[in-house]
Structure 1
Amino acid sequence: MAVRFLNEEVSELCLGKPELRCVAATATVAEALTALKTCGETHVSVWICGGDDINGTCLCVGKICAADVILFLCREEHLADPFKAFEAPISDVLPKGSPVVRHLEPNSSLLEAIDYILEGTQNLVIPVQNHHHISNSRKNLLNKQPPFVCTRHNSHEYCWLTQEDIIRFLLNSIRAFSQIATFTINSLNVIDHDIMTVHYNSPASSALDFFHRALTEQTSVAVVDEENRLIGEISPFTLACCDETAAAAIMALSAGELMTYIDCAGPTEDMVQLVKMKLELRNLGGMVELMDDSFHSSVSSSSSCCSSDDEFGSSRNGRLCRTVGSGRHYPARRSEAVVCSPRSSLVAVMIQALAHRVSCVWVVEDDHTLVGTVTFAGILKVFRSVAGGRHNKLEVDS
């Protein structure tokens, strides 16, 4: 039953997907950042259209979020004059190496989609031309869902699928995987012990390589104390809900201070002044100018991160949640880590991750000592292994 389910067409996951905003690959970093702020989404897709190497068609070649821009500004060559970095093409920001975005045909199987993700793909671009791409077994759901509204290129509509979409789809059909759903994450060997940590008092900039890796692998960096107990996390998904001044905070603050700065309630005025003072001591006047420029812009647009207690309400420093020109609110994320036990079941961890909108859940012992993490990719490996029959003989931990 599980194997048949994994052979379902991936287009079924496109039901009700929202429109994906896009920018041209020829855009500058400033233009991409403006697109992010005006569309109210955490990511925009990057497209090349009409090139000879793609036969005059359109191709999605990547995606960009505020975290990409923030880490780009933290490069050594941009610290003295961050404004110059905004003139660079976004191709300089996109990660090199294996593509994080891939096109996939709508009749491809869910198993193929999972295989691409396990190879490093973060998002799948699925063309949807008409409703015939939806199997007959689910056509009755079509009228109950919002219409297909996707990125349009080549006279096609495109759906944008994430790892979270696939995990949610699997959870909704968990009965097909009853042989593994209640197993503990420890018994399934799904805990990843190759984790990235930074000490609470260490400079946040010392973890820049980790931040880049976390963005690529869709995981987070753990902030720990001297006894390796988990205090919190610095997540690229939290950074993606911040503005460009987070780059200045990374270069000025400790890891613990950075957690406070990027927390979704937003930095206090005292924290902002602390960042400026430390930047001036390092002769990074350009970063100070960046903060001043961004502050004036935020006053005119009422832009900031929001409180988790009231996602669309006021933050503790009196400013509203990040609001864009269209009046839409920009969601924010907390730096507080989501944790589970090695004895937690697979389905319980899936529910945690989806409920908190995180792509990794930290595994800790009872004393909060950090053990490892469970990621979406790790969970998908378990479901993928069902097709190979490798979990058929597993026994539940006593």
Structure 2
Amino acid sequence: MAVRLLSHELSDLCLGKPALRSLSITSTVAEALEVLKTSDDSSVSIWSCDHKAEFDPASGFCDDDYEGDCRCVGKICMVDVICYLCKDEHLVSPLLALKEPVSVLLHKTPGIVLHVEPSCSLLEAIDLILGGAQNLVVPIKTKLSYKRRQHQKPSPSVTIHKGREFCWLTQEDIIRFLLSSIGLFSPFPALSIDALGIISSEIHTIEYHSPASGAIGAISRALVDQTSVAVVDSEGTLIGEISPFTLACCDEMVAAAIKTLSSGDLMAYIDCGGPPEDLVQVVSARLKERNLNGMLEHLSMSMSFGGFSSSSSSSDEESTAAPVPRSLRHSRSMSYSARMVRRAEAIVCHPKSSLVAVMIQAISHRVNYVWVIEDDCSLVGIVTFSDMLKVFREHLEAIA
């Protein structure tokens, strides 16, 4: 039965998925930033399309009969922009940095985004993810796509590529699908993560009182690994985390906080509800001390536009009445549109926790990982969606 489940085609998982928001590879970082700020999604797809004369800019369509190439070459999120602006030369002149092409944000790691056909099996998709893919780009058919073919103008950020729209599938989508039929894999999902050997000790950490700037490289690597950076004390006790999933819900001014605050203060800065006013003042003062006037001016502009207003609400009820500032948005995943407000405290489990319990825990908090700690809160390691998928893959090989 489990083997038959994994023979499902990816089209089954694409039902109801929204079309990707797209940006051209020729766009600027500023244009990408604007799309990210106005989107409920945490990331945007970047496309390289050889439209030439066959592309109609008035309708946004590629000619169905044109043989040119339309490819998603990557994805970016707010974390990419934040890490980019953390570079010293960009802090001096952020407006100039934002004029650079969006290609400077793309990861050099190949295969993070892969095109697949709707007929691709779930088992094949798992193999691609275990090989390093984060997002699988799948063509979809929607009523909206058909209407656009009737020459209705598309959204500026959703493009019809050769007459087709696309969605993407992630590790979370596949884990959620497996969890919906977890009984077919009994009894191994009830085993502890320790017994299954999926607790990884390869983790990114930083000490609580250390400058947050020391975590920039770790944040970038955690974004690629789809994990997080653990904040620990001098004895290795887990205190919290600096999570790319949380940073993706903030705005670009977090770059200034990373360069001026300690790791502990940064956790408070990115906590839900927006940064505390006293920390905003600390960031401003330290930018001024370091003569980073370009970023200081950018910060002042953000504050004047209400980006740090503590009176704004992130509730779904009030969001219909007025736009919610990016720093207060916590749409936790690119897979689902539901909003999840979560603090900077880390999501944790015990080595004896069962696999199915950890799966539920990660999905409910909209993260791709769970930290593993002992009873004294000492950090043991981390369990990721990728680790979980490896176990399912090995189980299928064993029963084949």
1:336-351 alignment, distance < 5 Å: 336-351=345-360
List aligned pairs for 1:118-133, cutoff 5 A: 118-129=130-141
Residue type of the partner of 1:23? Answer: L
Distance 1:306 1:178, change over 3 A: farther
Alpha-carbon distance, 1:17 to partner: 0.9
Letter in 2 for 1:276: S
Q: Which residue of 1 aligns with 2:59?
A: none
Question: 2:176 is matched with which residue: 132, 157, 168?
Answer: 168
Take 2:290 and 2:26, find their aligned partners in 1: how far apart are those partners? 34
Would the aligned equivalents of 1:241 and 1:331 in 2 still touch at CA under 8 Å?
no
**Contact kept in structure 1, 2:340 and 2:366, CA below 8 Å:** no
Q: Secondary structure at the match of 1:39?
A: coil
Aligned to 1:353: 362
Post-superposition shift, 1:80? 1.4
CA contact (8 A) 1:186 1:342 kept: yes
Scaled by the length of structure 2, the TM-score of the pair is 0.84
Question: How far off its partner does 1:164 sit?
Answer: 0.6
Q: 2: CA distance between counterparts of 1:110 and 1:236? A: 27
1:304 and 1:3 map into 2 onto residues whose CA distance is: 52
Q: Distance in 2 between matches of 1:152 and 1:8?
A: 27
Q: What's the TM-score, normalizing by structure 1?
A: 0.84
CA shift for structure 1 position 283? 2.5
CA distance in structure 2 between the aligned counterparts of 1:58 and 1:298, rounded to whole angstroms: 39
- Aligned counterpart for 1:92 among listed residues 101, 104, 107: 104
Q: Which amino acid aligns with 1:113?
A: A
Q: Distance in 2 between matches of 1:305 and 1:68?
A: 26
Distance in 1, matches of 2:23 and 2:37, equals 13
Alpha-carbon separation, structure 2, partners of 1:344 and 1:359: 16
Aligned to 1:385: 394
Give the 3 Å change call, closer, same or farther, for CA 183–268 of structure 1 in structure 2: same
> What's 2:45 paired with?
45
Task: Write out per-residue CA displacement over residues 17-43 of structure 1, whole angstroms, 9 at most, x where no aligned residue.
Answer: 123211111110000111112233211
Distance 1:70 1:332, change over 3 A: farther
CA contact (8 A) 1:339 1:363 kept: yes
Q: Which residue of 248, 262, 267 corresponds with 1:254?
A: 262
Structure 2 counterpart of 1:242, from 250, 259, 275: 250
C-alpha displacement at 1:302, in angstroms?
6.8
Q: Percent same amino acid at aligned positions? A: 55
Distance 1:188 1:43 in 2: 33
In structure 2, C-alpha distance between the alignment counterparts of 1:242 and 1:304, rounded to whole Å: 16
Residue aligning to 2:376? 367
Q: Rate the CA distance shift 1:264–1:172 in 2: closer, same or farther, 3 A.
A: same
Query: Which secondary structure state, in structure 2, belongs to the residue aligned with residue 56 of structure 1?
Result: coil
Q: 1:280 to 1:312 in 2, by over 3 A?
A: farther
Output the CA distance in 1 between the equivalents of 2:124 and 2:87. Answer: 36
Gaps of 5+ in 2: 53-65, 144-157, 328-336
The answer to whether the 8 A contact 1:61-1:99 is kept is no
1:378-398: CA deviation from partner (whole Å, max 9, x where unpaired): 1111111122218x9xxxxxx
1:15 aligned partner: 15
Match of 1:115 in 2: 127
Give the Cα–Cα distance (whole angstroms) in 1 for the partners of residues 312 and 255 of structure 2. Answer: 15
Counterpart for residue 277 of structure 2:
269
Gaps of at least 5 residues in structure 1 are 132-149, 393-398
Residue type of the alignment partner of 1:207:
A
